[in-house]
Amino acid sequence: MKIRTKRILLSFLSLLLLLMPIAVKAESTDDMYYVKDEANLMSEEEQEELETKLSTISDYWGEDVVVLTVNSLEGKTAEAYADDYYDMNGYGVNERSGGILLLVAMDDRKWHMSTGGECISIFTDAGLNYMQEQFVSALSEGEYAEAFNTFADLCDDFMAQADMGEPYDTGNLPKEPLSILWYIGAVAAAFLLAFIWGSIEKGKLTTVRESQTASDYSVAGSLNVYNSHDQMVRTYVTQRALPKEDSSSSSGSSTHTSSSGSSHGGCGGSF
């Protein structure tokens, strides 16, 4: 009876040990957050919506997309803080190929984007510069949720572009959509020009009267027909060299090494 009880107990312990890695893995997945709003810049609802969006983008592309807000940089540069947080919190590892993290530090009014893994090549220097032009103004105006959602949408767009084999880079950046005001202005200008032209032409026709003969439509002595011919004397050929673009120094991604020895790309500034 004791032997049977021991066997049952050993079987139970073996099963428990087999399940432990699964439980640990599930716990680590649940602890992975894509929004860490330590500076409390967003409402709870805004945080939840952004978390859902970033989680969806991260799962779809297999790249971690993270937003981090803090009050203090704790004596570090924004670049070092973003890189260290990325490295120490396990982003861009395991089933992920890489990641991108946006840091906003309120006390210093600094922001920084840190990239790792495959995201270094997905988000080129020119691409990151384009991205910051789209959301930094919202940070300056205190529209934080808007800025972070714009960042998330841009990450999704950039990953889709890279998936087609040609990441956004110098000479290949997203086209700026024209403002609705531009279209309204263009239509108004066209109507105005048409009205002015029509008024001028109408004024020219006020003195026109119907004539009975064709000769009345020509000025006397103005129609003379002569025999003529052209003779080619010589030809000239002009050549000029077209300058070639040197893209070697203005494209791609520059990298640096974090305190943990990992390679990162990125860019940053003030708001």
Is residue 123 located within the same domain as residue 158? Answer: yes
- Whether residue 196 lies inside any domain: the answer is no
- Whether residue 231 lies inside any domain: the answer is no
What amino acid is encoded at 75 in this protein? G
- Whether residue 187 lies inside any domain: the answer is no
CA triplet 132, 170, 166: central angle to 5 degrees?
100
Instruction: Tell me the CATH number at 85.
Output: 3.10.310.50
Q: Which residues of 106-129 are buried (b: 16+ CB within 10 A; e: fewer)?
A: beeebbbbbbbbbbbbbbbbbbbe
Closest CA to 126 of 173, 93, 56: 173
Number of domains in the chain: 2
Is residue 153 located within the same domain as residue 61? Answer: yes
- Residue 194 has what pLDDT? 58
- Whether residue 227 lies inside any domain: the answer is no
Cα–Cα distance, 24 to 65 (Å, whole number): 23
Taking only the tens place, the pLDDT of each residue in 144-203 is 999 999 999 999 999 999 999 999 999 889 876 534 443 354 445 555 665 566 566 666
Longest dimension (CA), the chain: 135
User: Is the pLDDT confidence value at 11 over 50?
Assistant: no
Cα–Cα distance, 10 to 142 (Å, whole number): 60
Is residue 72 located within the same domain as residue 162? Answer: yes
Is residue 45 located within the same domain as residue 155? Answer: yes
Cα–Cα distance, 185 to 179 (Å, whole number): 10
- Residue 235 has what pLDDT? 56
Question: Is 184 strand, coil or helix?
Answer: helix
pLDDT band at residue 29 under the 50/70/90 scheme:
very low
Is residue 39 located within the same domain as residue 26? Answer: no
User: Is the pLDDT confidence value at 23 over 60?
Assistant: no
Closest CA to 122 of 65, 50, 56, 55: 65
Taking only the tens place, the pLDDT of each residue in 87-146 is 999 999 877 889 999 999 999 999 999 999 999 999 999 999 999 999 999 999 999 999
What amino acid is encoded at 16 in this protein? L
Calculate mean pLDDT across residues 10-32: 42
Cα–Cα distance, 23 to 8 (Å, whole number): 22
Could you tell me which residues are beta bridge partners of residue 104? 69, 111
- Residue 247 has what pLDDT? 44
Is residue 153 located within the same domain as residue 119? Answer: yes
Cα–Cα distance, 218 to 207 (Å, whole number): 16
Taking only the tens place, the pLDDT of each residue in 215-269 is 665 666 665 656 655 566 565 554 554 545 444 445 799 999 999 999 999 999 9
Closest CA to 144 of 259, 41, 240: 41
| Domain region containing 91 | 33-177+256-270
- Residue 175 has what pLDDT? 78
